[in-house]
Amino acid sequence: MAIELHQLVAALYLVAGLAQILGIAIPKLRFGRAAPWLLGAGAFVHGLAFAQLHTMPSPPSLTHLPTAVSLMAWIGVLQSLALLRRARLEGLAAGMALLAFVGVFYASLALRGVEPVPTSATSWPHLHVILASAGLSLLAVAGLAGALFIAVDRALKSKRPAAWRRRLPSLEALDRVNSLALSFGFPLLSCGVVAGMLWTQGETGRLFAGGAHAIWSSVAWAIYLALVVARFRLGRRGREAAVRAALGFAFLLFVVVGVGALT
């Protein structure tokens, strides 16, 4: 049942993302009005899918990559819904809906026949995943805001701005979202890293276990530390901050999904 619910969630996220894009491109069709409701329905069913995971004969651990990816997608969608209640950020929600679709669809395939993972005697593994997932989801919001900032900025500088530009957030709103998501996302990610180190300490007696995942994760954290310093200490804003946020999230996605899948 949990697998089927994940597939339903993936479908809802996909339809929500496409409806939002159509609502931006063709306002007369009014597809955009249904998109937040579809996204909300997907988030609700997503919560039920997580509850159903615990009823499986061999429930997967939260530290299992497909489960963690699904959790990141769920938190990211909830964050997008919260942003939609405060500002007109339809383009951002569309990007998050499509990202969530990819993550949940991957989880629905990878969770089939998953082997049970030995559980730890401490709560550090779950705390590590929850904190890191919340941070990663906010950094995804920052990356999407950066990518959308670049698209809107390019449209504004063109001689004949596209009609869909009027349906997208302003550059100021996107820059604020970038700043807010980065200011909360990086501390949460850092707390997740610390929890992961304490988990490793308890299991192996060392704070840093080594290996590809730990090394690449450290590199990603250092890159985001540089982004935070550039943004809040050196005052790098606007297009420069947007490009860095988009590239930083692309690298983070490679680390979490690419390196995680290979290891």
Q: Kindly state whether residues 179 and 100 are assigned to the same domain.
A: no
**Parent domain of 184:** 123-263
Of 113 and 193, the structure prediction assigns the larger pLDDT to 193
Q: Kindly state whether residues 136 and 110 are assigned to the same domain.
A: no
Domains: count for the chain = 2
Q: Of 89, 114, 139, which marks where a domain is finished?
A: 114
pLDDT band, very low/low/confident/very high, at 122 (cuts 50, 70, 90):
low
Of 16 and 166, the structure prediction assigns the larger pLDDT to 16
| pLDDT above 90: percentage of residues in the chain | 29
Q: Is 100 exposed, middle or buried (0-12, 13-18, 19+ CB in 10 A)?
A: buried
pLDDT tens profile 95-119? 899 999 999 998 888 877 655 555 5
Q: Kindly state whether residues 78 and 134 are assigned to the same domain.
A: no
C-alpha distance from residue 168 to each of 24, 92, 159, 234, 241 (Å): 7, 9, 18, 28, 19
Q: Kindly state whether residues 145 and 176 are assigned to the same domain.
A: yes
Q: Kindly state whether residues 69 and 155 are assigned to the same domain.
A: no
Determine contact, residues 137/72, Cβ cutoff 8 Å. yes
Q: Kindly state whether residues 136 and 239 are assigned to the same domain.
A: yes
Q: Kindly state whether residues 10 and 108 are assigned to the same domain.
A: yes
Q: Kindly state whether residues 98 and 138 are assigned to the same domain.
A: no
**Helices assigned H by DSSP within 90-123:** 90-110
pLDDT tens profile 134-186? 999 999 999 999 998 998 888 777 766 555 566 677 888 889 999 999 999 99
